[in-house]
Structure 1
Amino acid sequence: LLGRLGDEPEPGVALVRLLTRPVLLSSLSTAVGFFSLRLIHVRAIGDFGVVLSVGIAAAALGTLLLMPALIQRYRWVLIERHIPWVDRAAQWGVVLANRPARAIAFTAIAVALVVPGVLRLRVHTDTIQYFGDDNVVRRGAEFFADNLTSGFLLNVVVRAEEPGGALDPHVIELTGKVAHELERSEHVDRTVSMLDYFYLMDAALRPGEIPRANPGSRDAAAQYMLLYESSGDPDDYSRYVNFDRSALAMLVSVHGGSRAYLDLAEDLQEIDSAAPDGVSVQTLGSTFLYSRAMDGLTRGMVTGVAAAAFFIGAMMLLGLRSVSLGVVAAIPNLVPIVLCGGVLGWLDMPLSMGTSLVGCIALGLAVDDTAHVLGHLDRSRSLESVYRMVGPALVMTTLALMVGFSALMLSEFQSVVALGAATAATMGVALLCDLWLLPSLLALLGYRVHEADEDRTKANTPAGNGEISEQIAAA
């Protein structure tokens, strides 16, 4: 745009006139979209959204106030240079808009093919898998799991309401049922609880008979515990029963990541709902709590994408003051996210901390391109002239963003690698939608595709000193 100011007597003022509408529209919609991350009940993510919103607002102020002031003060003169392949790419969508049904049908087919993949998406936040195969953290964790514990530990507690209630036969029987159900899972290596000690002591006290893990009465269980306590370290079994003997704890060795922990917790909830009155089954432990927090955070990001899409759509609707344009503006920004989610689903790649951020980031950045196109749109101007003005800038800025996000693929943290790759790919698809799909949608709304012959001749004629002022004022 600076290269088109030419000999404009007030270049800073002219630049403000030219930029105000598209910059405000894109900045407000993006800032509101990122600020919607405050709806996620995780403080770090909410703060992340606020910082992004403030940064975008600062960038908008710099574009509308600082840059025009510098241009006005120092009278910088730039020569507009054209890159042929960029100009051609910016006009491809205008050519397709002559027959808009083709671009729209192709997009509809692509979306229909990936929607089943979206339905296949699953949340999985196995932190160890975030590191590469040769990373020292992953190698150490896998060595620990294979040679020491055979997995990560999940804590399960069977709790009675009254002191000593954990020694009742029905509570011990329920604990045995919990252990049996857990060991049926392919993700559980083994379980260890007080029942294993009861089994060993019963085998020693009643040789030749079938050992029992349930002593059969509260008194018998108390005798077994007293015998074990007096024959060894009193604290040895404290990890399996609390001080007032109202709860029995179980250590469960689990492999398979957060999804395995959460699936087991759901199974235990069913057992808890069928437990006798006064007895509960709880899933505890740092591993489970961390997995649940990460799972909730990842699912919350999906909610954040929906909230961001709603608020961005509302801002576009208010800024454009047209329901039809508001709907059209949403389509090229939502299609890339659906395509990205579908590809992840078909490739059986789960939603993790990294990939769940793609939607919000890509939506917040991709809407800028759409806003700049619609911000320069006018019934008196053809799509060809609009894309001749803003199309090359859309191509170059999006390519720069893709290169920037691709740099994240150099990280050793696989979640960051996935974030960089998925965001770069989604930004590329968003650019294609803005260049190829958006003109066809606008053509269906009745916007003129090509310039009239006399306008085309005028556009190819070098502008005089006063003509640029007239063009900017008209814009």
Structure 2
Amino acid sequence: MKRILKHNKLIVTVILVITIFFALQLPKIEINNDIEVFLPDDHVSKVTTEEIEEIFGENDGVVTAVKFQEGSIFDYHNLSRIENMTKDLENIAEVDEVTSLTNVEFIEGTAEGMLVEDLVPELPRTESEKYQIKENLLSWDLYKNNLYSDDFQATQILITLNEGLSTEEENAAYYKIEEVTEEHNNRGLESYISGATAINVRMGDSMLEDIQYLIPFIILVLILTLYIFFRKILPVILIMLNVTISSIWAVGLMAYLGVNLTLVSTVIPVLLIAVGSAYGIHILSHYYDYLAEYDGQIDQVKQEELVLKTVKQLGKPVFLAALTTAVGFGSLASSEIIPIRTFGIFTAIGISTAFIISLFLIPSLLILIFSLQKDSSKLNYQKIDYFESTILKLHKFYSNKRISIIITALIIIIVSIMGLNRIVIDTPLIEMFKENSQIRQADDFINKNFAGTTIMNVMIEGEDVGSLNHPQILKPMADLQNYMSSSFAEVGKMSSIADYIKRMNQVMHYPDEEIAEEERNDQQGVDDGASFYNQEDGVDNNDNASFYQENDEGDTGSFYEESESQSDESSFYEAEPEAEEALEREIMPGPDKDQNLSEYDFMMLLNRALARADRLDITADELVNLLNQEMNFQAANYYEIPHDLEKYGAQREENLQNLISQYLLLYSGSLDDMINDDLEPDKAQILVQLNDPSTIVAGEVREAILNYTEDNFPDGYQTTVSGNAVMAQAANDLIVSSQTRSILISFIVVFLIVAYSFKSLIAGIYGIVPLAFALLINFGLMGYSGIKLDVGTAMVASIAIGIGVDYTIHFLHSYHKERQKSDDLFLVTQNTLTSTGKAIIFNAISVAAGFLVLLFSNFYPLVYLGLLIAVTMFSSSIAALTILPLMLNIFKPKFIQKEV
């Protein structure tokens, strides 16, 4: 070591050059908080999500909710504002599609067949036109919880971004969307933006804000704490230089290797500033203690000897402390959660850097700075003893209270163990934000008023081409949607191709008298809000898709009629000639407009409708739907997947499959996000929207879907559940296994290092006891306080072990050295506490103070991380200074007495 420190100028130069290199890499680092970065590339939920997105496209885009203070969403002025906002959003280059109230498709039935047009073909000028839009909107439950709120004062605009966008492009798209909404946010209009992309962008912004404000804050706190301890500027500067360089090296290496910065890794600079100071504190604390023995009279030669003596005396314990700390963080590399793994690896690198700098740069600078002083013959330093006096009083207090300490420790352990069962494991990204954050408020508003922002994808795969247009699978799909919506309040919406098939089946079975009545009203110009399509000067809008095409003579085909040119291809049932009579059936009539109901008939109607209900606590709209079914108003009884052979006059299920194929053929809109082929799909997707971001809820919903499909879906169909909600739930499941594995690895490594250091297995046990005590307090506190075990707090245990082991190692080595000098255990403990104990207390205070700065973070996981680490520093340091000497003094292990 003496030879190395002779080259102190070279050491300083090399460290400076490396630091400049890594500092130049810092601007290159990128932020990415997409949920998929939490999982390894080969994780099943990540792989299946990518497969589903490749087939059906991405569903997690940006959701904008618009709320009007005056009027409803159907008012001309408000609809106009929605239309203008929709057009402005469509003009954004990164946006693929925008769906809103003013451009969504509506399927309607007419005398000619099926008509697909915009839900709002023109902005309403009259009350009847406004009510017509409202009536159409309410007639199809596909729109429910997506395009309107219960009070009709809010609507959603769903924005899908182009596929394959980079993180920078997604960020740019979000900022443009935010700019458009802000332009329209004038008097009486409020907009709320959420969704996966919005959450990721907002998280990145808040992370930069944390880095911008918290790092200067923690530096200030550490400077003040160091100055209070040393009462000198030089040790403060040296320690701050140490932690600054180690932070630059660690984060700069991340940037150089192209590793993204996540919410978890933003803690790295904070942690290195707080923890990396420990090695410098121990070295400088002992250096100044040695210096104080000379009463301030020392020359340069003696000063160099003191530096070398300090390094020699503390080299081994500091190395072991750094090694165990690095291993403690390195154990996180075993985690399957990528951000935690990254955090562990680069924190371990930063800790190693802090050790190297403490051992080489600080001694080199001490020698160089002393040699540059004008009066290098003297170095005045007065010993600071107020810490020692406090420690001595503490030692005298508890040295005679062994029984009390043991009982207190046992009570704490029992209470902490009882709190373990209360720990909740949950990692919803949105709940990482504080309640007053803009994105949290927006997400809460959308979840409260609409279907929800948490997306889950269910893919149904058949074995053969066209197997997903068969009633045998489409009906169970529709039943699954009904079952999940009624069983889980958190399921805000489930949408699939079944919704479209049911709607098309309904409109194609409108009773003749209803269609005739509507057409009479339309022809007479009666503006009663009941027309199914608009006519201008008596001419139909040819842009709308009709169920039939006119022939050369201008005739229109019949619903059952089959021309020679169509033959078998256009026949719904492909019936044999002799079976045609068997296929004829009569559409159930709708309500008679002219019939007068008696009070008795009305009550009978209500009772029959109620008897259709599955439960009694139905809502008003559910009662209306039941009445519609009872009266078959607008073919309400046909809002279903056609599956009943007798009802539809079909001989075989293949006939009904052909009917469904015809529906798909005649639908003019795009169904790419629902099925993989417009005519003969073998894959279909059910989109699940959850209004609760909890990963626990996502796990329960996923399990229920898989159980239902296994019990109720026919053979030959495979169900896959994936999406962002499932990936978040998968990350949640990995937390427990990763936490257990990292703690186990940390304890084993600490045990082996301490045991090897003292050549005793018993010593390894003594090394982990204070850490186990501190961890029990940590998890007990989490259980009783309701702090969730998430991606942030999951790191507390490894951090606590990595840092807390320093106190144990330093105390054991100091106690061992004192034990070689004396058999007076009281004196041995006292000398250990007044030397190493002082540094332990100060280090624990500085680390705790540094982490408490995280209380001001924008994210709850970091707030709780800071709080728990501070508590753990307190408990592990107290355990090292009380429980550990108590055990050593009571049991008098042999390893502590023999020379190593």
TM bracket, shorter-chain basis: 0.7 to 0.9
Q: Are the equivalent residues in 1 in contact too, given 2:480–2:705 (CA < 8 A)?
A: yes
Query: Which residue in the other structure is 2:781 paired with?
Result: 343
Q: Are the equivalent residues in 2 in contact too, given 1:92–1:436 (CA < 8 A)?
A: no
2:312 counterpart (14, 17, 21): 17
Query: Which residue in the other structure is 1:53 paired with?
Result: 348
Question: Which structure has the greater CA radius of gyration?
Answer: 2
Q: Are the equivalent residues in 1 in contact too, given 2:787–2:864 (CA < 8 A)?
A: no
Deviation track 1:228-271 (CA, whole Å, cap 9, x = no partner) reads: 541442x1x33222214112321222122222112212223334
CA distance in 1, matches of 2:874, 2:661: 66
Q: What SS does the corresponding residue of 1:376 show, helix, strand or coil?
A: helix
1:195 counterpart (495, 498, 504): 498
Alignment of 1:409-448 (within 5 A): 409-446=855-892
Q: Are the equivalent residues in 2 in contact too, given 1:154–1:251 (CA < 8 A)?
A: yes
Query: Which residue in the other structure is 2:675 paired with?
Result: 241
Query: Which residue in the other structure is 1:281 paired with?
Result: 719
Work out the number of aligned pairs and report it: 447
Q: Are the equivalent residues in 1 in contact too, given 2:451–2:492 (CA < 8 A)?
A: no
Shift of 1:45: 3.1
Q: Are the equivalent residues in 1 in contact too, given 2:854–2:862 (CA < 8 A)?
A: yes
Q: Are the equivalent residues in 2 in contact too, given 1:87–1:391 (CA < 8 A)?
A: no
CA distance in 2, matches of 1:186, 1:342: 32
- 2:288 partner letter: G
CA distance in 2, matches of 1:311, 1:443: 25
- 5+ long unaligned stretches in structure 1: 449-473
1:155 counterpart (457, 462, 476): 457
Shift of 1:297: 5.0
Deviates more, 1:138-147 or 1:67-76: 67-76
Shift of 1:374: 0.8
1:253 counterpart (689, 694, 710): 689
Query: Which residue in the other structure is 1:395 paired with?
Result: 841
CA distance in 2, matches of 1:145, 1:222: 39
Alignment of 1:309-458 (within 5 A): 309-378=747-816, 379-380=819-820, 381=822, 382-446=828-892
CA distance in 2, matches of 1:292, 1:356: 15
Query: Which residue in the other structure is 1:213 paired with?
Result: 640
CA distance in 2, matches of 1:290, 1:319: 42
**Cα distance, 1:11–1:389 mapped onto 2, change above 3 Å:** same
Deviates more, 1:30-39 or 1:439-448: 439-448
CA distance in 2, matches of 1:383, 1:162: 79
CA RMSD of aligned residues (A): 2.8
**Cα distance, 1:119–1:218 mapped onto 2, change above 3 Å:** farther
CA distance in 1, matches of 2:660, 2:850: 66
Deviation track 1:272-314 (CA, whole Å, cap 9, x = no partner) reads: 5545442122112234324433553575244323322222222
1:120 aligns with 2:422: yes
**Cα distance, 1:328–1:195 mapped onto 2, change above 3 Å:** same
**Cα distance, 1:195–1:96 mapped onto 2, change above 3 Å:** same
**Cα distance, 1:129–1:80 mapped onto 2, change above 3 Å:** same
Q: Are the equivalent residues in 2 in contact too, given 1:405–1:424 (CA < 8 A)?
A: yes
- 2:384 partner letter: R
Q: Are the equivalent residues in 2 in contact too, given 1:151–1:189 (CA < 8 A)?
A: no
Deviates more, 1:75-84 or 1:11-20: 75-84
CA distance in 1, matches of 2:859, 2:588: 55
1:292 aligns with 2:704: no
- 2:704 partner letter: D
Q: Which has the higher contact order (CA 8 A, sep 6+)?
A: 1
CA distance in 2, matches of 1:231, 1:69: 79
TM-score by length of 2: 0.47
Q: What SS does the corresponding residue of 2:442 show, helix, strand or coil?
A: helix
CA distance in 2, matches of 1:287, 1:222: 36
**Cα distance, 1:349–1:207 mapped onto 2, change above 3 Å:** farther
Q: What SS does the corresponding residue of 2:685 show, helix, strand or coil?
A: strand
CA distance in 1, matches of 2:641, 2:395: 75
Deviation track 1:185-228 (CA, whole Å, cap 9, x = no partner) reads: 23212322222333334444254564463322344144234225
1:170 counterpart (461, 468, 472): 472
Q: Are the equivalent residues in 2 in contact too, given 1:166–1:172 (CA < 8 A)?
A: yes
Q: Are the equivalent residues in 1 in contact too, given 2:315–2:359 (CA < 8 A)?
A: yes
Query: Which residue in the other structure is 2:743 paired with?
Result: 305
Q: Are the equivalent residues in 1 in contact too, given 2:322–2:352 (CA < 8 A)?
A: yes
CA distance in 1, matches of 2:450, 2:491: 15
Shift of 1:93: 5.3
CA distance in 1, matches of 2:424, 2:737: 10
**Cα distance, 1:93–1:163 mapped onto 2, change above 3 Å:** farther
- 1:242 partner letter: N
1:263 aligns with 2:700: yes
- 2:480 partner letter: V
Q: Are the equivalent residues in 2 in contact too, given 1:370–1:434 (CA < 8 A)?
A: yes
1:79 aligns with 2:516: no
Q: Are the equivalent residues in 2 in contact too, given 1:34–1:360 (CA < 8 A)?
A: yes
1:32 counterpart (327, 333, 343): 327
Query: Which residue in the other structure is 1:2 paired with?
Result: 287
- 1:79 partner letter: Q
Deviation track 1:359-379 (CA, whole Å, cap 9, x = no partner) reads: 111221111111110121223
Deviation track 1:298-347 (CA, whole Å, cap 9, x = no partner) reads: 75244323322222222222222222221121011122222111121122
Q: Are the equivalent residues in 2 in contact too, given 1:154–1:283 (CA < 8 A)?
A: yes
Query: Which residue in the other structure is 1:137 paired with?
Result: 439
Q: What SS does the corresponding residue of 1:17 show, helix, strand or coil?
A: helix
Q: Are the equivalent residues in 1 in contact too, given 2:420–2:780 (CA < 8 A)?
A: yes
Give the fraction of aligned pairs with identical amino acids, expressed as a percent. 20
Q: Are the equivalent residues in 1 in contact too, given 2:425–2:732 (CA < 8 A)?
A: no
CA distance in 1, matches of 2:841, 2:741: 30
Shift of 1:140: 2.4
Q: What SS does the corresponding residue of 2:882 show, helix, strand or coil?
A: helix
Deviates more, 1:95-104 or 1:31-40: 95-104
Shift of 1:69: 4.4
**Cα distance, 1:105–1:200 mapped onto 2, change above 3 Å:** same
Shift of 1:91: 5.8
Structure with a larger share of its residues in helix: 1
**Cα distance, 1:104–1:222 mapped onto 2, change above 3 Å:** farther
Deviation track 1:133-159 (CA, whole Å, cap 9, x = no partner) reads: 221121222333344544423211222
TM-score by length of 1: 0.85
Q: Are the equivalent residues in 2 in contact too, given 1:199–1:212 (CA < 8 A)?
A: yes
CA distance in 2, matches of 1:77, 1:15: 18
CA distance in 2, matches of 1:231, 1:182: 27
Query: Which residue in the other structure is 1:466 paired with?
Result: none
CA distance in 2, matches of 1:119, 1:354: 19
Q: Are the equivalent residues in 2 in contact too, given 1:179–1:191 (CA < 8 A)?
A: yes
Deviates more, 1:270-279 or 1:238-247: 270-279
- 1:408 partner letter: L
Q: What SS does the corresponding residue of 2:676 show, helix, strand or coil?
A: coil
